[in-house]
């Protein structure tokens, strides 16, 4: 019996020494220390032995049990540490690896500019013109005739118009002013609208000119509207758009649909009036066309010019965007080069 126990111990210690994983140890524990183990059988049968033998074999069986348990614990600690090290090594983060790149979309700089302009005017009580009052494919009637451009007026040539082959008078609109007429036909005064959109002109494309660009048109018609209202409104717009009031100048000009007409210059934002390349040395930048709505235009849409008066204005979106962000080539807005677009 004693020999059997010693043999048993030896074989257990042997296996423990050879064990490599915690699973191995689990197996050994089952084999040598469980209820079904040989060791347990010996302990169970102690009662059949003589008192003398019971003492010796009992003590030996206990000591064998303790030795196996101790050995298992020691080995378990070693294996646990080893396995933990392996696991940590396998899972450690390599901070030199490149991060994951999540591309995000952006709002196009021209859309941002249009949104900013519209938001400013909405803050002053203007609404967006109805969509159907702002078509890009337009008739000469709304683009020119109703805006007091006489049939043979040379000014028609200054906005080199694209004609379509849909019908003789169907064109791509050359200005957003067409929406003034359409809005006045569909709404009674008081009218206070803003109308952003695309316009087309047969221009040679260059750093400064594109044959498609954007304008924002504004129109206000009510009783007792004066040039003073126009000045106050547009100076306020300039203050909000350029984030601070700037000197402006209202230069007398001509548009067939306004009388009097003005072009509005703002002191150059690059050189503060000293004269630079952007302002061509003049110290001023032209940013708006405007004027009091011509009585002929009001009559044309059935609004009595003796009762109502109004002002209108139009601005180039690309120009305002170029000034704000110092962009020196209009074509950059349309090439869709991500390196450019990502900067906004």
Does 148 help bind ligand DAH (rule: CB under 6 A)?
no
User: Could you give the maximum distance between any two Cα atoms of the chain, in Å?
Assistant: 137
Containing 249, the helix (H) or strand (E) segment is strand 248-255
Beta-carbon contacts of 226 under 8 Å, excluding residues fewer than 6 positions away, are: 292, 309
Q: In the set 118, 177, 183, 267, which binds ligand DAH (CB under 6 A)?
A: 177
Placement of tokens 């938001």 in the chain:
119
Q: In the set 189, 196, 310, 314, which binds ligand DAH (CB under 6 A)?
A: 314
Identify which of 287, 226, 235, 286 has the alpha carbon closest to the alpha carbon of residue 260: 226
Q: In the set 68, 194, 238, 290, which binds ligand DAH (CB under 6 A)?
A: 290
> What is the 3-class SS of 102-152, one letter each residue?
CCCCCCCHHHHHHHHHHHHHHHCCCEECCHHHCCCEEEHHHHCHHHCCCCC
| C-beta nearest to ligand DAH: residue | 314
Nearest distance in Å: CB 255, ligand DAH: 4
Closer residue to ligand DAH, CB minimum distance, 71 or 217: 217
Q: In the set 196, 256, 289, 310, which binds ligand DAH (CB under 6 A)?
A: 289
- SS3 for 260? strand
Q: Candidates 28-36, 161-169, 285-293, 334-342 — which segment interacts with ligand DAH by CB under 6 A?
A: 285-293
Nearest distance in Å: CB 335, ligand DAH: 24
Q: Which two tokens stand for residue 304?
A: 């009595």
Closer residue to ligand DAH, CB minimum distance, 75 or 214: 214
CB 213 within 8 A of CB 318: yes
Q: Candidates 5-13, 43-51, 114-122, 311-319 — which segment interacts with ligand DAH by CB under 6 A?
A: 311-319
Q: In the set 258, 267, 322, 327, which binds ligand DAH (CB under 6 A)?
A: 258
Q: How many CB atoms lie within 10 A of CB 298?
A: 21
Containing 74, the helix (H) or strand (E) segment is helix 51-91
Q: In the set 255, 284, 308, 333, which binds ligand DAH (CB under 6 A)?
A: 255
Q: In the set 217, 265, 294, 318, which binds ligand DAH (CB under 6 A)?
A: 217
Contacts with ligand DAH by CB under 6 A lie at 175, 177, 217, 255, 258, 289-291, 312-314
């Amino acid at each position: 019996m004693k020999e059997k126990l010693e043999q048993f111990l030896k074989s257990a210690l042997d296996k423990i020494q050879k064990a490599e994983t915690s699973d191995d140890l689990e197996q050994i524990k089952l084999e040598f220390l469980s209820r079904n183990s040989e060791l347990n059988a010996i302990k169970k049968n102690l009662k059949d032995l003589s008192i003398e033998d019971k003492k010796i074999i009992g003590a030996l069986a206990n000591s064998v049990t303790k030795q196996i348990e101790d050995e298992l614990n020691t080995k378990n600690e070693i294996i646990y540490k080893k396995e933990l090290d392996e696991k940590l090594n396998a899972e450690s983060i390599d901070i030199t690896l490149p991060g994951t790149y999540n591309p995000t979309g952006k709002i196009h700089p021209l859309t941002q500019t249009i949104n900013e302009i519209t938001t400013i005017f909405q803050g002053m009580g203007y609404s967006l013109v109805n969509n159907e009052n702002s078509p890009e494919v337009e008739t000469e009637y709304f683009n020119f005739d109703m805006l007091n451009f006489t049939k043979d007026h040379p000014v028609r040539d200054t906005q080199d118009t694209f004609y379509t082959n849909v019908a003789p008078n169907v064109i791509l609109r050359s200005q957003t002013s067409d929406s003034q007429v359409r809005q006045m036909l569909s709404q009674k005064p008081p009218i206070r609208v803003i109308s952003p959109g695309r316009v087309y002109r047969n221009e040679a494309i260059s750093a400064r000119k594109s044959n498609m660009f954007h304008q924002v048109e504004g129109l206000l018609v009510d009783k007792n509207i004066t040039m003073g209202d126009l000045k106050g409104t547009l100076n306020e717009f300039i203050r909000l758009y350029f984030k601070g009031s700037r000197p402006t100048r209202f230069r007398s000009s001509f548009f067939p649909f306004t009388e009097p007409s003005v072009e509005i210059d703002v002191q150059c934002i690059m050189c503060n009036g000293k004269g630079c390349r952007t302002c061509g040395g003049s110290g001023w930048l032209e940013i708006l066309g405007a004027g009091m709505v011509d009585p002929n235009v009001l009559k044309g849409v059935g609004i009595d010019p003796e009762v109502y008066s109004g002002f209108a204005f139009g601005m180039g979106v690309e120009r305002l965007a170029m000034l704000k962000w110092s962009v020196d080539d209009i074509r950059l807005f349309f090439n869709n080069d991500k390196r450019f677009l990502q900067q906004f």
